Amino acid sequence: MVKVFYVEDEPFLGQIVKESLESRDFVVTMVDNGAAAVPAFIACQPHICILDVMLPVKDGFTIAQEIRTQNPTVPIIFVTAKNQTDDVLRGFHSGGNDYLRKPFSLEELIVRIQNLLKLSAHQPAKSLDTVQIGRYSFLPLLYELRLGESSRKLSHRESTLLQFLNSSRNTTVQRKDILLKLWGDDSFFNSRTLDVYITKLRDYLKEDPTVSIITIKGIGYQFTVA
């Protein structure tokens, strides 16, 4: 059975979601405050996490960062009442894989859970092996990009995107394929978010002119390493 870790401080909403997931054979561990979140996560070792953003004591972003130190790969869905792009991007930088805005339907939540579990199941097993990208050394499991003596920590989304691009090195990858693989849908908002991450990766890789992310207008990107 799929184990779900759910952090929600609204008792009525939390109980509805918990009971709805359990009626569909999910095993749900729920806590209602940020202080109890990480110990409960460690105890239950879930397959997926659902984190409300606005929580007492400790917010969902902070919880996600702490969860990532325990488990770099468990999928995380943020639930938020906020609409600002900066907040959503902060969620991705904290290690989130997806987000839902309140109010949301249980059907949409379940679809997103199933989608992330499916993506997780089809990803190759990660190891501490170093991937060489030009002069850079990329350590996917550690979310780290190294150049000489310097190193940069990547967010979960940045690391996943770099892995995806590198797996199709020197070939053209369609935007839609990236969006469906990493975000689960190719909405306009996610497309604009992808642009932000591409810009960030270009900046991170700019010290080696043999590495580039080329925009193929109207199609996608080509990740080239000379």
Question: Domain with 152 in it: what CATH number?
Answer: 1.10.10.10
100 forms bridges with which residues in the sheet?
Answer: 79
How far apart, in whole angstroms, are the C-alpha atoms of residue 153 and residue 138? 10
Q: Which of 88, 122, 156 is the last residue of a domain?
A: 122
Position 84 scores a pLDDT of: 56
Residues 9 and 75 in one domain: yes
Does residue 83 carry a pLDDT above 90?
A: no
Residues 7 and 112 in one domain: yes
pLDDT (tens digit, 9 = 90+) per residue, 116-164?
888 776 554 444 578 899 999 998 877 889 999 899 988 888 888 999 9
pLDDT (tens digit, 9 = 90+) per residue, 49-72?
999 998 988 999 999 999 988 888
Does residue 215 carry a pLDDT above 90?
A: yes
Residues 138 and 216 in one domain: yes
Amino acid at 92: F
How far apart, in whole angstroms, are the C-alpha atoms of residue 178 and residue 173? 7
Residues 118 and 166 in one domain: no
* Domain range for 56: 3-122
Question: What's the full length of the chain, in residues?
Answer: 226
Quick one: what percent of the chain has pLDDT higher than 70?
93
Residues 110 and 152 in one domain: no
The helix/strand/coil state of 77 is strand
**Angle 175-182/156-167 helices, nearest 10 degrees?**
130
Q: Which of 92, 122, 152 is the last residue of a domain?
A: 122
Residues 8 and 96 in one domain: yes
Position 86 scores a pLDDT of: 64
Number of domains in the chain: 2
Residues 7 and 117 in one domain: yes
Full-model pTM? 0.59
The helix/strand/coil state of 179 is helix
User: How far is Cα of residue 51 from the mean position of the Cα atoms in its chain?
Assistant: 13
Position 141 scores a pLDDT of: 73
CB neighbour list of residue 107: distance below 8 Å, 6 or more residues apart: none
Q: Which of 122, 146, 166 is the last residue of a domain?
A: 122
Question: For strand 3-7 and strand 27-31, is the pairing parallel, antiparallel, or unpaired?
Answer: parallel
Residues 90 and 169 in one domain: no
Position 64 scores a pLDDT of: 92
